[in-house]
Structure 1
């Protein structure tokens, strides 16, 4: 439970790091970095989505 709370907080503050901790280096991380560079809010939404889904 604490791990999920930490990922949610990181998703709000530093989305690419949250995605990296959840999925590692891959397509999801690349998508999140691009979204954060374009506009920050979509990167936050994507990070929350990645960290909250199971798997």
Structure 2
């Protein structure tokens, strides 16, 4: 596109790095396969090898 000046078409925003995105996730699977442990790992950074159900 000749005649366009350099730069981006995006609006200037200072909220980029501080933006919080929310997602919903559905985990499906058989019982006792680790669904709850997987959620705990990503939410709290913990992982328990064995968790009695």
Structure having the higher helix fraction is 1
Q: How would you bin the TM-score normalised by the shorter chain?
A: under 0.3
Who wins on radius of gyration, i.e. which is larger? 2
Relative contact order higher in (CA < 8 Å, ≥ 6 apart): 1
